């Protein structure tokens, strides 16, 4: 279990202090895939680096398996890091080492015998589907293959936790899918707890069980992915789930704007068509998106009603009557 308690991080510089994280309280349970989502600069990369103390928090505690990392001396911390692996957006492979020797690297550091390290590395390359690339060098691999090597390397020391810092952000959509599938498989078969940092909602709804939404150095919202997705509480979560709210405002100077949320049951019903026909309200669809979380289909739609209070009331009454979740947008 990873517990972050009252975590804050402030960067002090001559040009002024920058508060990267503020009062972060978070518990990540064993065996789950936990997502941390936010826009660039929200503080999520700093947050993940505070978990293994690559960044030392200015205040607060990082407690992993009951042990307070902030109170450890350096040898203890280095030892602890072997059970908390990390993969990165830029893969960060050793360019002058072969694929196999990249995977044996953490084992060499841990003092494992050469033959045993090689055997373990071969086995892990099989897990990530790159057993035929053992002798290749990183420069000869594609982005997806590099990330697979990085994953194999991260698993070499049998970690309990795997931190993924924007691990798929440099990959194309198809490769992203395969890497996410691999991470999910590792979580299920090896029981590794995974923390995923991303700015893409797609990554979250694809593999995460729970998600924390981080905005301007603070946690804005936290909960099960399906819950946050169907009923986002914070403005930032809404923006991340269905972007374009801000920009759409410019070209449609109409009336009341509604965000409709469809859960598993209502997703397939022709809600918008019925609303238009039954209420005689001509409306605009600003944006819409549908996705699958845990085999259930969820959708979100941003619609705009005409600038007419009678029509607006009629539409709202209709939605209330049908029990369709919506929220008013400004």
**Does 50 sit near another protein (CB under 8 A)?**
no
Alpha helices in 128-234 (DSSP H): 143-155, 173-190, 201-207, 225-230
Site residues (CB under 8 A) for another protein, limited to 186-225:
none
Residues 194 and 203: their CA atoms lie apart, in Å, by 13
- Per CB under 8 A, the list member of 70, 127, 137, 227 interacting with another protein is 137
CA terminus-to-terminus distance, the chain: 40
Nearer to another protein, 139 or 273 (CB): 139
Give the C-alpha separation, 249 to 229, whole Å: 22
Nearest to 130 by CA among 147, 112, 109, 106: 147
CB of 96 to another protein, least distance (A): 5
Output 110 or 269, the one with its CB closest to another protein.
Answer: 110
Backbone φ, ψ for residue 318 (5° rounding): -65, -45
Contact between 113 and 138 (Cβ < 8 Å):
no
Nearest-approach distance from CB 137 to another protein, in angstroms: 4
State the binding string over 80-119 for another protein (x if CB under 8 A, else -): xxx-xxx-x-x-xxxxxxx------xx-xxx---------
Beta-bridge partner residues of 62: 4
3-state secondary structure of 324: coil
Question: CB 152 → another protein: shortest distance, Å?
Answer: 13
Q: Least distance from C-beta 92 to another protein, angstroms?
A: 4
Q: Is 140 in the site for another protein (CB under 8 A)?
A: yes
Q: Which stretch binds another protein (CB under 8 A): 138-146, 223-231, 269-277, 286-294?
A: 138-146
Residues with Cβ within 8 Å of 82's Cβ and at least 6 positions away in sequence, in order, are 106, 110, 157, 159
**Cα–Cα distance between 284 and 75 in angstroms, integer?**
61
**Which of 236, 176, 274 has its CA nearest to residue 39?**
236
Pick between residue 6 and residue 76 the one whose CB is nearest to another protein: 76
Write the binding mask 160 to 189 for another protein: x where contact by CB under 8 A, - elsewhere: ---x--------------------------
> Using CB under 8 A, which of 1, 39, 63, 77 touches another protein?
77
Residue 73 interacts with another protein (CB under 8 A)? no
Binding residue for another protein, selected from 1, 39, 54, 272, defined by CB under 8 A: 54
Least distance to another protein from the beta carbon of 146, Å?
A: 12
Q: Which residues pair with 328 in a beta bridge?
A: 258
Q: Which is nearer to another protein, 160 or 259 (CB)?
A: 160
d(CA 51, CA 58): 13
* Count of alpha carbons within 13 angstroms of residue 37, beta-carbon side: 29
The window from 6-14, 77-85, 197-205, 259-267 that contacts another protein (CB under 8 A) reads 77-85
Shortest distance (Å) from residue 244 CB to another protein: 32
Please report, as ranges, the residues that interact with another protein according to CB under 8 A. Answer: 52, 54, 77-82, 84-86, 88, 90, 92-98, 105-106, 108-110, 137-140, 150, 157, 163
């Amino acid at each position: 279990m990873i517990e972050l308690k009252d975590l804050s991080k402030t960067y002090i510089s001559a040009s002024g202090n920058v508060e990267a994280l503020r009062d972060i309280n978070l518990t990540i349970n064993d065996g789950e895939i936990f997502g941390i989502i936010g826009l660039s600069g929200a503080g999520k990369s700093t947050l993940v680096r505070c978990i293994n103390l690559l960044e030392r928090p200015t205040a607060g505690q990082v407690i992993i398996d009951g042990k307070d990392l902030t109170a450890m001396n350096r040898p203890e911390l280095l030892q602890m890091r072997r059970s908390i692996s990390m993969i990165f957006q830029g893969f960060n492979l050793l360019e002058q080492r072969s694929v196999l020797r990249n995977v044996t690297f953490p084992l060499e550091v841990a003092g494992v015998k050469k033959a045993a390290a090689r055997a373990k590395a071969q086995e892990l390359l099989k897990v990530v589907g790159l057993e035929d690339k053992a002798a290749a060098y990183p420069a000869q691999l594609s982005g997806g293959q590099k990330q697979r090597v990085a994953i194999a390397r991260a698993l070499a020391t049998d970690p309990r936790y795997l931190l993924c810092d924007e691990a798929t952000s440099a990959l194309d959509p198809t490769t992203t899918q395969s890497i996410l599938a691999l991470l999910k498989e590792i979580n299920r078969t090896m029981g590794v707890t995974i923390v995923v940092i991303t700015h893409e909602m797609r990554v979250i709804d694809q593999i995460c069980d729970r998600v924390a939404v981080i905005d301007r150095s603070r946690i804005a919202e936290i909960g099960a992915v399906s819950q946050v997705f169907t009923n986002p509480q914070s403005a930032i979560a809404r923006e991340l789930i269905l972007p374009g709210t801000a920009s759409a405002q410019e070209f449609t100077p109409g009336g009341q704007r509604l965000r409709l949320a469809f859960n598993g049951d209502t997703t397939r019903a022709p809600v918008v068509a019925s609303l238009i026909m039954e209420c005689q309200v001509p409306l605009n669809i600003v944006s819409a998106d549908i996705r699958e979380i845990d085999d259930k289909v969820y959708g979100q739609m941003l619609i705009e009603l005409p600038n007419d209070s009678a029509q607006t009331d009629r539409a709202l009454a209709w939605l209330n009557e049908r029990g369709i979740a919506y929220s008013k947008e400004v």
